[in-house]
Amino acid sequence: MTRVLAAMSGGVDSSVAAALLVEQGHEVVGVTLRLWDNDTDAGCCSVAEIDDARRVAHVLGIDHLVWTFVDEFDAQVVAPYVAAHANGLTPNPCIECNRHLKFGRLLRRARQLGFDAVATGHHARVVDGRLLRGADPLKDQSYVLYVLGQDELRRCRFPVGPMTKAEVRAKAAALGLPTADKPDSQDVCFVTTSGGREALLASRIPLHPGRVIDTAGAEVGRVDALELVTVGQRRGLGTGGGAKRYAISVDPTAGTVVVGEAGDLLAGSVELTQLCWVNEPVEGPVQAQTSAHADAVDATLEGATVAFAEPQRRVAPGQSVVLYRGDEVLGGGIATPMLTR
């Protein structure tokens, strides 16, 4: 019998993941990670979310634990998120949470306590050591899992990966799970809907006004906070009416945002840093996915440079570019502000 620690967020996917493991005859213990000091009664790490996970565990007849990783989450996810914005980058905190907490800290503690594997509700699949997209293309979450290597994958289970979201909800309803109709969470868990990024960043770093200039260097507007601007942004750039303009670069040192027309956003390639691989490093033809909800496009990887078959919308520095061949995740890296053209 395999001992599996099921990470239960209080959502329907992780609820069904735990239920499937129980059906398969594994010894299952549920755990909810408290990662953030949430003062409200809604959203990630709230009392309501923990209670939902606990109620599902009760229906399944399994033990439920709550582990607090607040300090680690702040150091490994929130602080780097803030620092990235201060440096003109657009980070992806969900990927860093997976890297450091859900498949880092959690896996280490699970091993220490004698568990054979950790399961989550991610829509992805592992087949013969390969990380594959989830069966539901609209809910596939393999993009945020590219940081997992073979050591992690050997100890990970993604029970709902072969299912569509409709099938997950139907299964939850058939089992009488209280999360069957619960809406999916969408936002960054530590950014509140009331204050948004601005409130979070302002509570930790000073926000600086900046000049908005066009590609010729002429000032065309001003922004209240450079730290809130991301490449590709169109609204809130203070350029007034007229032709649509988009942020194509952010330079906190110079205190400027460069804007251009839609065509100026197109780039033929992007340079990556912090490359990591699910299996062995690859080069040559790949498909590159530049955001969680973008389509993968044909590209060629040479060293750390991804050259697109056709120009693509510029990748915001700090965002991950994930490399695929078909449904298989090969690896990925983080777009740099240098050599992005």
Q: List active site positions.
A: 97, 189
- In whole angstroms, what is the distance from residue 93 CA to residue 17 CA? 23
* Bridge partners (DSSP) listed for residue 256: 211, 251
Name, in order, each residue with C-beta under 8 angstroms of 106's C-beta and a sequence gap of 6 or more. Answer: 5, 7, 31, 33, 67, 69, 118
Q: Given the DSSP bridges, would you call strands 156-157 and 117-119 parallel, antiparallel or unpaired?
A: parallel
Evaluate whether 106 touches 7 at the Cβ level (below 8 Å). Answer: yes
What tokens appear for 255 in the block? 């205190």
Q: Which helix (H) or strand (E) holds 310?
A: strand 305-313
Helix intervals (H) in the chain? 12-23, 47-60, 70-73, 79-86, 93-97, 106-112, 150-153, 165-174, 196-202
Query: How far is residue 175's CA from residue 115's CA, in Å, rounded to a whole number?
Result: 25
Give me the phi and psi of 190, to 5 degrees please.
Answer: -100, 5
